[in-house]
Amino acid sequence: MSTQRGPADHTEHVDLLVIGWGKGGKTLAGTAARRGKRVALIEQSAEMIGGTCINVACVPTKILVHQADQRREADDPDDYFAAAVQRRDTLTSAMRTKNFQLLDELDSVLLVSGHAEFTGDREVLVTGGDETLGITAETVLVNTGSRPAVPPIEGAHVGGRIHDSTTLQHVSPLPGSLIVVGGGYVGLEFASMFAHFGAEVTVLDRGERPLRQEDPEVAETAVSILAGDGVQVTSAAEVTSIAAGPEQAEVTYAADGREMRLGADAVLLALGREPATDGLGLERGGVDVDDRGFVAVDEYLRTTARGVYALGDVNGGPQFTYVSLDDNRIVADQLFGAGKRSTQDRVAVPYTIFLTPPLARVGLTEAQAREQGYDVRVAAKQMADIAAAPRAKIEGEPRGIVKCVVDGANDRVLGVALMHVHSQEVINLVALAMRHSITASELRDAIYTHPSATEALNEVLGALA
């Protein structure tokens, strides 16, 4: 939808204009302001102050994952879930307040509430209610993020019993049964979470196997653990329609050459994300998008418009808040540094899927390493079989796997997959080691605290074949 493009009620000129309150943009706004620059930051939703991560993604979902893992059999599912959502809301509200204060206390920062639309070269019109504000800037950051995509499936719309990853966080009451359409990282994370809250969960995955970007044995371990928690995963299931009735939602899908129907209290659409660029008028600002609709950038995050950069999910890069933070470093180097830092500098960037236990990985899978011609050595063990790392057993969660892929020619670590308690922490150690060319033997023989999850590396790397 296009906004009014007549003369603005007021006008401002700033050094740096940030559109959207995401991680990269808000961090760079603070940096610029502390350097004496005049900064304006525009956010159209009071519920998104601070960005996607703290409001609807990383932080609130991990609160819910943690709370789900703490639920006891004696806890009433509905009451427990409602309390978990309340804790989620309390923390995210506090984080919004803190994020606002961090910029509001800087005298040279102008915080603007409203919808931004490019009207020309580094020129934006902000509309808030009946008021408009025109802003011109030396530098503009497009920092509007992404949102859950609605797939082109008959009846697939968010509302009522049909949810995306944002609305499902406030579903009420807790659904007794849930169908997750999509077997990717978000879909499986929510499947695991809601199973631990007490729902019966079915995942319909259109791929031949879930987690197809992971090593088969790692994916099989994850799916086995999900099954043990009551999550049923159906692969090669092509959803053709969704219908929501007053009592249940019904999903129709094709599998094994047959048409199948499945009913549930709620449906989660988890088939990817799309850029949040509606009504930005990018074309009037000279900003091109790629074939997926994300803002096109080069390795320095420069768009096709002079002085305009795109940070975070909206530029189509890896959709992690810590990558958005690194985007901030790249653009900060362009504005205040040597201008050499780029996305090409990123090495061994890890990620974690917060299943129970979490699955974390960095680097290459075994198949990828072999395809690239490395002299591959592999070691893998189920966590329950790793005698030298009792931490998982101490915490009552012995499930999972550790798999390491090493270059036999020089003993360098090529990739590691960890699925065990605290894997989201251990993977950062491995990633750091990879960036600094620490060998597999050095990781194997390092002294780690006991009992810790890290010391699984001692035993697993000692079994390299």
CA proximity to 111, closest of 173, 50, 194, 34: 50
The three-point CA angle 362-353-447 to 5° equals 50
Cβ burial of 136 (10 Å; 0-12, 13-18, 19+) is middle
pLDDT reading at 1 higher than 70: no
Work out the average pLDDT over 94-121. 98
pLDDT over 80 (residue 5): no
376: β partners: 407
Alpha helices in 171-275 (DSSP H): 185-197, 216-228
Element (H, E) at 100: helix 77-104
* Distance separating alpha carbons of residues 228 and 218, to the nearest angstrom: 15
How much is the pLDDT for 4?
45
- Predicted pLDDT at 6: 64
Instruction: Find the helix or strand (DSSP H, E) in which 401 lies.
Output: strand 401-407
| pLDDT value for 465 | 73
Question: Is the pLDDT confidence value at 2 over 50?
Answer: no
- CA–CA gap between residue 331 and residue 346 (Å, rounded): 14
pLDDT at 8: 85
User: What is the Cα gyration radius of the chain?
Assistant: 24
- DSSP per position, 9-75: SEEEEEEEEEES--HHHHHHHHHHHHTT--EEEEES-GGGTT-HHHHTSHHHHHHHHHHHHH--TTS
For position 9, what pLDDT does the model report? 87
Give the mean pLDDT of 357-371: 98
Put the strands of the sheet holding 238-244 in their side by side order: 238-244, 249-255, 258-264
Q: Is 450 a catalytic residue?
A: yes
Strands 412-419 and 359-363 turn out to be antiparallel
Average pLDDT of the chain is 97
Distance CA 242, CA 262 (A): 10
CB of 127 within 8 A of CB of 4?
A: yes
Q: Please report where in the chains the tokens 């603005």 appear, as a residue.
A: 8
pLDDT value at 367 more than 90: yes
Domains and CATH numbers, the chain: 10-146+274-345 (3.50.50.60), 162-271 (3.50.50.60), 351-461 (3.30.390.30)
Of the residues 10, 157, 170, 450, which is catalytic? 450
Residue 119: strand, helix, or coil:
strand
Token pair for residue 388? 């030298």
pLDDT at 3: 42
Of 2, 46, 41, give the one whose Cα is nearest residue 20: 41
- Quick: pLDDT tens for 192-234: 999 999 999 999 999 999 999 999 999 999 999 999 999 999 9
Q: Mind listing the pLDDT tens digit for each residue in 314-343?
A: 999 999 999 999 999 999 999 999 999 999
Per-residue pLDDT averaged across 237-263, rounded?
Answer: 96
What is the per-residue DSSP string for 287-348?
Answer: --B-TTSSBP--TT-B-SSTTEEE-GGGGTS---HHHHHHHHHHHHHHHHS-S---GGG--S
> Which DSSP state fits 270?
-
